[in-house]
Each structure stands twice: as C-alpha cells, then as structure tokens.
Amino acid sequence: MEEWIAAFEAALNAGQVEAAVSMFSAKECYWRDLVAFTWNIATMDGRSAISKMLHEQLTQVGSISIEPEGEAKVDGEGVESWFDFETATARGKGYVRLREGKCWTLFTSMTELKGFEELSGRRRQAGAEHTASKERLTWLEEREREERTIGTEIQPYCLVVGGGQGGLALGARLKMLGVPTLIVDRLPRPGDAWRQRYKSLNLHDAVWSNDLPYIPFPVHWPIYMSKDKIGDWLEMYAKVMELNIWCSTTIRSAHFDDQAKEWIVNVEREGKTVVLRPKQLVLATGLSGKPKTPALPGAESFAGVQYHSSEHRDSTALAGKNVIVLGSNNSAHDICVDLWTVDADVTMIQRSSTSVLKIPQNPPSPDLPTPRRDLLSASMPFRARESIDREECEKDQRENATFYAQLRSAGFLLDFGEDNTGVVGKYFRRASGYYLDVGGSDLIINGQIKVRSATTIKEIRQRSVLLSDGSELDADAVIYATGFEPMESWVGTLISKDCERRVGHCWGLGSNTAMDPGPWEGELRNMWKPTAQEGLWFHGGSLSQSRIYSLYLALQIKGRLENLPISVHQPAPIDRGPITSQ
C-alpha cells in the first residue's frame, strides 16, 4: 500500500498522467472526488475518464503530497487504506482500495482550504481580550449588529432558501468559513417543518446517523427521535450556531443578473418586500416540490373531507370513520397507522408495487466515529455500491422471507427494485417507492389496515370512491398520499421555467430505472455541485447527507467568495431538461 501511494504521488507530481492511470485496474476502476481535484462532486469511471480528469485538472491542483494514515487493512480481496493529502490550495482526506496491486476505488475529499481553516479546537478564538478598551463591542452587541445589518445594510454573499436541517447545516458551515449568509424560511420558527408533521412521526434513521455539523446529539438521546424533539433541536442549533435567519419569510422571485453576476431576489418579510442581492443562491427546500394531488372526477362532489398527506396532522376528527388513503409509500403507511389508532376503518389504495424494509428496533451503535463513517460511506462510488446493496437486499429477503410472504398474502404488492437493490437503491435513484416499516406492515398482514392493490381511484362520489377494478368503497375521508412535484419545480416557481429546463432534473444517478432515466451520471444530479445556472445550488436529503455534503458545498462557495482559481471538471450539461422516463 505504501508503495502504491508513494508511486501515485510521484506520478502526479511529475505530471505523468499515463503512469498514474496505469496504477488503476484496467478491468474496473473509479475515482470519486469531492471538490479536491475537480471543484465538483464527480466520479470518474474507468481509466479514460480518470486520464481526462488528470489532464484537465492537474495543473490547477499543483504540487501534491500524500501520506498514508494508520495501518492498511487487508481483506480477502485486497488491501485498503486511509490517507491524508495536500494540494496547492487545500488539505484533504482520502481512501483507496487496491485489488491485485491496482486501484479499484480511489476517494479524495477536500477537508479545508489552506488559509481559510475553521477557527475551531486548537485554532479557536480567544473570545475576550484581556486589555481594557473603549471601542470593543461585546459578543451580544456584535451579534445584534450582525442580525440587524445582514440583508439590509450588508448583502449576504450567500442566500439559503429553507431553514430545515439542510439549510441550517449549510448555514453553520458557511458561518464557520466566514461567508456572510442569510437563511430564509417561510415558517415562524426553525424546526417548524418537523413540528407541523403528523404527531406520531419519528426519524427512521438512528441518532448516530443524524448529527448535524459541530454539535453532535447528546450521548443519552434515544436511537429514534420524535419529530418534535428534532424540531426543538434545530431551533436550538440555529441559535447556538448564531445563524442569521429570517423566519416567516417567503421568496417571491429570483433572477440572476448576468452583468452584475448576482441574484436579485424579492423576499416578503413581515408583510414588506425586501430585495436581496446575493452572489450565490442555495435551494435547501427539501427533496420535494409542492404537493401533488390528482384531479379525480367527482372530487368536487365529495361530501367528506379530502386532503393531501402533507396536511395530515392528527386523526382525532376521523375516529371511527371510513377513510381511504391513496398511495402506499412512507407517509401513506404512517397515516394509515395513525388512523388505526383512533379506530378508523382504513383502506390503503396501492397503485403500484412498493419496497418494504423493516427498521430494526435496537440497531447496534457503530464502532467508528461519525466523521469516519461519513467518509467511508462516501468513499464507495455509486456504481460499485450496487452489488453491495443487492447483497444486503437479498440477505434481508432471506431473513424476512416469512414476513414478506405474509405481506404478499395480505394482497400487498411488493418489489425490491428493478435490480434487487431495494430501498437503498430507490432512495438514491428516486427517493420514493418504499416504506420503512415501523409497524404498519403488521397491521396490513393482520387486516387491520385493508389494502386494495393494483388499482386506483377512478371516480369520487358523494360518500364513496369507485376503483378502477370496478369496486366501490364507502368513504368519509380521502387522503391523497400521492407524493410531490420534483425538487427542481422550485426553480420554475421561484426563478423561471426556462431556468428550470436548463438546470433540469435533480437527484437520481441516471440508472435508467423507473423515475431515474439515463444516461448514467454516477452522482446525484445537481446536488451540492455546480448546476447549469451560475450561482444556483441545491442542498437537501437526509440529515446525514445534509451533514456530509454541506461541507463540500460550503467549500465550493467559500472558494468563489475568495476568488480562488476554480476550474470545474465535468460541468453540468446545459439543458438537461426535466425527468421524462416512465
């Protein structure tokens, strides 16, 4: 391993691209880079892609030093190792996996820009000066001045739309990098996006996956947090990280001024219109666009209540009623369970098959600290992880064979993804099509939640729904768990339809499976990376993605603020266009 690293370092420093490329496996090889070499989030797949990247980027990267970190790990198939590296402009952390002496996967990630290191740990600020001064402001005075002036006297360099975990995590990173930032959110308090969800909602990921940057969750917190607990935490986080947030604030329009190279953003805050002129605009509005409700014949004549799943708060008013839930993904299941707790008569209408994954009640806590797990997980290129996901999914199917059989017997349409990569595969490709089972499937198996599958609602009548299979169900309420517009729809709403088309689809890898058309891109489209629209960025996903990728997005923004020489490898295609397949 040490020899490989030393030889690779030497080849790069000598500009011997072909020598470097020959150290990768001719059969299968990947180089995944987070900002350090490409100023992008990119995976180079195969020797020729790697060769192209090095030819284009090596001059900019400059002189490189690479140091193995710790002992290399030998397993049956090969050997792998952490390493630290330094380029002309940055320090980074990497991971390399060798097979038969050649590189199978190489991972490089930027940790910090030289000269712009975070003032943390041994670099932390004094906070107080131990000499008397007549001019010095107190911490409170400085903080109040910053809050008062940002967006009014001082333009934010970066405007973040959305104050959920994504916006806050990014805001925190930018704060630590000294990037003047303003976050706007339509709700009154940070955390409200969680608080306003239905009351039984808990996080599906274990607490150790969910840390935000800089302030980990307390070590006594439960494995699965309630939505109100995370809501309160986010509010605390915004305060403690001293983020500048305008709550109860809505973006009316945003337009990029190509001359001034800045955005003109019209914002409504407390009834007044404010114009902001940030250089960078980040949409951290979540994976979903606006709620999508089908226009069903007869809906206007329905005598009961009907609403989209995103409006579901509490089932109390539906106690004992006949309720139809259209949809079969996470929120459909959670709402069905919630209705069952008040003894509603619940029927789920499953239009197409769904993946189900049982969430373990007591998963073992991990051995590696969070930053290492983050990097290790990021080090595996998406293409290479497909077979791992498939193995996991097949193992799950074997271990839970009885459960899945029972679910099918109850009439539930089950699938494990087009290529058996299960829920994980679907998450990265389309972020939908699955249920993370926290108890709903058992109610389906027991018949306490009824399922009508491979059908949909054809027509709504005054007190019933007519299904496409011809049957008719009594209905006091219809809840549409029918999903959301894609996240890029926010671009159309806030900026322009033209910009939405140019930027195109967000999320998905180009796997050429349902809702993720090809060509293969190998990274999540448009996420945390330069888009076809200058100065426009997307940030979103799970808490752990928010934690991990907020760093790389923040470093890209900081680099631009500091006018570093930035040449982006594999820039986004122009006119990527909307999602078209299936």
Binding site residues, a copy of itself, CB under 8 A = 118-122, 124-134, 138-141, 143, 176, 199-200, 202, 207, 214-215, 218-226, 228-229, 232-233, 236, 239-241, 337, 340-341, 343, 358-362, 365, 437-440, 442-443
CB of residue 542 to a copy of itself, shortest distance in Å: 17
Closer CB to a copy of itself, 48 or 341, in the complex: 341
Closer CB to a copy of itself, 83 or 233, in the complex: 233
| CA 5 – CA 46 distance, rounded (Å) | 19
CB of residue 27 to a copy of itself, shortest distance in Å: 42
CB of residue 346 to a copy of itself, shortest distance in Å: 11
DSSP state of 564: -
b/e burial code for range 178-195 (CB count within 10 A of at least 16 → b): ebbbbbbbbbebbbbbbb
Closer CB to a copy of itself, 296 or 344, in the complex: 344
Closer CB to a copy of itself, 80 or 374, in the complex: 374
Evaluate whether 313 touches 196 at the Cβ level (below 8 Å): yes
Residue with tokens 């992008």: 40
Residue 265: half-sphere exposure toward Cβ, Cα within 13 Å? 34
Question: Which tokens hold the place of 324?
Answer: 């139809």
Closer CB to a copy of itself, 116 or 214, in the complex: 214
CB of residue 234 to a copy of itself, shortest distance in Å: 12
DSSP state of 299: G
Specify the length of the chain in residues: 582
Residue with tokens 């979540």: 286
Best CA proximity match to 348, nearest among 367, 328, 375: 328
DSSP state of 503: H
CB of residue 486 to a copy of itself, shortest distance in Å: 29
β-sheet bridge partners, residue 281: 159, 536
CB of residue 547 to a copy of itself, shortest distance in Å: 14
Question: Which tokens hold the place of 507?
Answer: 């999320």
Closer CB to a copy of itself, 225 or 515, in the complex: 225
Closer CB to a copy of itself, 439 or 518, in the complex: 439
Closer CB to a copy of itself, 137 or 260, in the complex: 137
CB of residue 82 to a copy of itself, shortest distance in Å: 21
| CA 249 – CA 190 distance, rounded (Å) | 12
By 3-state DSSP, what share of the chain in percent is helix, strand and coil, each rounded to 5? 30, 25, 45
**The CA-based dihedral angle spanning residues 506, 508, 509, 510, taken in that order and rounded to the nearest 10 degrees:** -90
CB of residue 102 to a copy of itself, shortest distance in Å: 39
Q: How far apart are the first and last CA of the chain?
A: 46
| CA 341 – CA 439 distance, rounded (Å) | 12
Best CA proximity match to 536, nearest among 578, 500, 582, 563: 500
| CA 484 – CA 54 distance, rounded (Å) | 40
CB of residue 313 to a copy of itself, shortest distance in Å: 12
Closer CB to a copy of itself, 120 or 471, in the complex: 120
| CA 373 – CA 367 distance, rounded (Å) | 9
CB of residue 226 to a copy of itself, shortest distance in Å: 3
Closer CB to a copy of itself, 48 or 446, in the complex: 446
Evaluate whether 246 touches 161 at the Cβ level (below 8 Å): no
| CA 168 – CA 244 distance, rounded (Å) | 10
